[in-house]
Structure 1
Amino acid sequence: MWRLPGPSGPKIKKTDISRGGQRMKMTRRGGLSAAVIALAGIVAASPAAAQEKIKLTFSTYWPTSYEYLYKPIEAFAEKVEKRTDGRVEIEIFHSAQLFGGKEEFGAVERGDVDMSAPLDIYHTGKVPALGVSSLPFMWASPAALQETLDAGLWDQGINQALAEHNMKVLNVAVGGPYQIYAKDFPVRQPADLSGKKIAVSGTTASKAMQLLDASPTTMSSGELYLALQRGTIDGTTRPLLTGLGRKLYEVLDHLTITNMAYFTTFLVINQDKWESLPADVQQVIQKAADERSADQLDRLQTFLDEAVTQFEDKGVDVHQPSAEQLRAFKDEMAPVYDWWTGEVDGAEKLIEFARENQ
């Protein structure tokens, strides 16, 4: 959390410009009195003091332990404050201190908070096209997805849809790939999931599991540990961040690295608040926001390199499928694209853009 320094410059008292309650007098030559000249000099010498201080509230449900998601937000806020010489302060409330992950969207839309970095798949009910990152095997790597985002994927209708919810999208960053976790059985081919109860976090993932003859159930990440421990579910599809952050390695045995789908986080500001900001402040905020995605991608790639080893060290059997094995999963999930096209307006445009820009 960052605090603005107190206002600089001397305070101007009434007695500085008047004596004994009498009005200041003009000099005989019609010039200003020495007091007025001094006052003008003070104002001219410190224009920054006259500028309004701007404080923005940023809410995120990411805990600080989710470093590759949280640290880029923290760096963004620091850059804005530094580059405006303390004129702008972005106060961050992390770990759902203000709003949970599924509440952030509405909070920014209403103006209850100024900024956030929501998770895309939590809000497909309001903007269905946000599910584009969940399309199975669209991208081979996080860098490929970020390239598509930087090329303007969200300009193909998503940014416009969010504008209708009173939001200005500043930046979109790749959040990480989804893998397959299993409790008592390894997953090396699609048939291994047949009849298994698999927890998912969105409708696209649910459809993909149905195509593999699994029984999907929507479940929040906070429910996974007990569900796996009690046998309510047999496995889940989640990023590596969830598996480590929620200590799922304690209640499961197998992890299959598929990079089957992704999620993104989008840095947004309330549109009314954005329009109220001076143009120079907007430029500083936008530049710092543009730098967030590269920062997050770098941190994500470092995390992924280390995460697999951490699972292995904790006794989890990690399976790295061959290209042929991944092709089998991809072929089984291919009908998701036809389903998604029928469900989402503008889906064909998004799919075509993604395939041509990575």
Structure 2
Amino acid sequence: MTLTRRQVLKYGTFATAGATLFGGQSLFSPRAMAATTMTGVTYLPPSYKALTYGSNRFVELLKENGGDVLNVEFYDSGQLLKADEQLPALRSRSIDFMFHTTSYITRSVPILGITGLPGVVDELYRHPERLAQGSPLLELINEVLAEENLYMLTAGGGVLEPEYIWSTEASPIRSLDEVRGKKIRIVGFEATQALEDYDIGATRIPSSETYMALQRGTVDAGVFNISTVIGRSLQEQLQVCYKLPMTAFTVAPFMLRDTWDNLDDEVRGVLENAAGWYDENFIDHCNNDIYPNEYWPQIEEEGIEVVEPSDEDIETFNNGAEAVWNHWKGEVGEDVGIRAIALALGEA
């Protein structure tokens, strides 16, 4: 594994000291020297209680089960790398694994767009087994990722509850038609495409800056997952949640494919154990525990109006999603795109 500068300095200093004090004898036992050290990151801070639940336990399992074969250094809250820096750092081997929201990197890794396609995400949300470990869809995703030397250990067992349109008191949105002309904060490329026909002013503002953007009227609304709302206290600046499923995402652990393939059996076993736990628990805990029992009650207590979309709005939005599907299929290849969408919709 590539050592970080911190590791090089740390071990290099100790090794020099050992040579000075003990001649040719090493300060480290042969077994300790054989241990694999892995550096991992996430840009998510602890305030994202739901989204960091899985990554925190994943890393804990690595440390608990790593014994003398695996050492782990993990940095959250963007301490080591910001969101947009993580994928380049993984590809350059500056880090060994990362947790990333798929919606942030679909422009760089188009196959991950299947987790955010309008008209598909609600089906994946209601049928998480279609994206579970061992599922044909996840295997297809990893086949395509392998072409870029990437590997997704698990999708977390599905996708998170879809992102909806949340708006301020000054510019409430209660229907699809009221989206027109609004300034909307959107991260996902797929949702941005889906709303292009509504003449919106789409802007990609980091979640850390969204509170002030809403407060100052820089944006009228945002396409958010409820974790972003609660994690950044955006409910204090919002008045209406228009619950039309726009897009979705998951938070997944990624490695380089050749790194994964070249791990020894013991280290790979430790990672597989952690990934298995993550697959069984992450999405299920968020969607079926934290969100309904903690987050949505907070939204209700804040007095935010929750508006269910009409059947007409759902049909109109989903019909317009066909153009997004076609664009995405052009990026991943017609055959791959057709297969992925069919698997996500339960048609294959």
TM-score, normalised relative to structure 1 = 0.78
Aligned counterpart for 1:304 among listed residues 286, 291, 296: 291
Q: Closer, same or farther in 2 for the Cα pair 1:167/1:128, shift >3 Å?
A: closer
- Describe how 1:92-131 pairs up with structure 2 within 5 A: 92-131=74-113
From 166, 179, 187, give the equivalent of 2:149: 166
* Separation (CA, whole Å) in 2 of partners of 1:312 and 1:78: 34
Pairwise CA distance, 1:61: 0.6
The 2-side partners of 1:357 and 1:121 are apart by 24
- Confirm or deny that 1:182 pairs with 2:164: no
Q: Following the alignment from structure 2 to structure 1, what is the Cα–Cα distance between the partners of residues 279 and 261?
A: 23
What do residues 280-308 of structure 1 show as CA deviations (whole Å, max 9, x unaligned)?
32123113212202211222121220222
1:232 pairs, out of 218, 238, 242, with 218
**1:287 aligns to what?**
273
Distance 2:284 2:196 in 1: 34
Looking at structure 2, the residues matched to 162 and 211 of structure 1 have their Cα atoms a distance apart, in angstroms, of: 31
Aligned residue pair count: 311
Map of 1:24 onto structure 2: none
TM-superposition CA deviations, 1:89-123 (whole Å, max 9, x none):
32211001111112111111111011111221222
User: RMSD of the TM alignment (CA)?
Assistant: 2.6
Cross-structure match for 2:137:
153
Segments of 5+ residues of structure 1 without an aligned counterpart are 1-46
Using the alignment, how far apart are the partners of 2:187 and 2:110 within structure 1? 14
2:339 is aligned to: 349
Q: Structure 1 98/352 Cα, relative in aligned 2: closer, same or farther at 3 Å? A: same
Are residues 1:340 and 2:322 paired? no
Distance 1:180 1:93 in 2: 31
Aligned residue number for residue 22 of structure 2: none
4+ residue runs over 4 A deviation: 47-51, 322-325
Indicate the residue corresponding to 2:231 in structure 1: 245
CA 141–314 in structure 1, closer or farther in 2 if over 3 Å, else same: farther
In 2, distance between residues paired with 1:250 and 1:212? 27
**Alpha-carbon contact 1:249-1:316 (below 8 Å) kept:** yes
Partner of 1:317: 305
Counterpart-to-counterpart distance in 2, 1:73 and 1:220: 21
Name which of 160, 170, 180 aligns with 1:194.
180
Maintained 8 Å contact 2:162/2:225: yes
Among 71, 83, 99, which residue is 1:89 paired with?
71
Percent of aligned pairs with the same amino acid: 30
Structure 1 position 84, deviation (Å): 4.0
- Using the alignment, how far apart are the partners of 2:44 and 2:347 within structure 1? 29
Q: Is the 8 A contact 1:162 1:168 kept in 2?
A: yes
Partner of 1:242, secondary structure, is helix
SS in 1 for 2:154: strand
Tell me if structure 2 keeps the 8 A contact 1:109–1:165. Answer: no
Once residues 113 and 261 of structure 2 are traced to their aligned partners in structure 1, the CA distance between those partners, rounded to angstroms, is 28
Q: 2 CA distance for matches of 1:227 and 1:77? A: 34
Q: Does 1:135 align with 2:120?
A: no
What does 1:252-271 align with in structure 2 at a 5 Å threshold?
252-271=238-257
CA distance in 1, matches of 2:31, 2:216: 61
User: Is contact 2:174–2:240 with CA below 8 Å preserved after alignment?
Assistant: no
Change (3 A) 1:294 1:188: same
Which structure is larger by alpha-carbon Rg, 1 or 2?
Answer: 1
Tell me the secondary structure at the aligned position of residue 258 of structure 1: strand
How far apart in 1 are the matches of 2:258 and 2:346? 34
Q: 2:42 maps to what in 1? A: 60
Gap change, CA 1:137 and 1:307, over 3 Å in 2: farther
When residues 185 and 333 of structure 1 are mapped into structure 2, their CA distance, relative to the original with a 3 A threshold, is: farther
Alignment partners' CA distance in 2, 1:188 and 1:52: 60
List runs of 5+ in structure 2 lacking aligned partners. 1-28
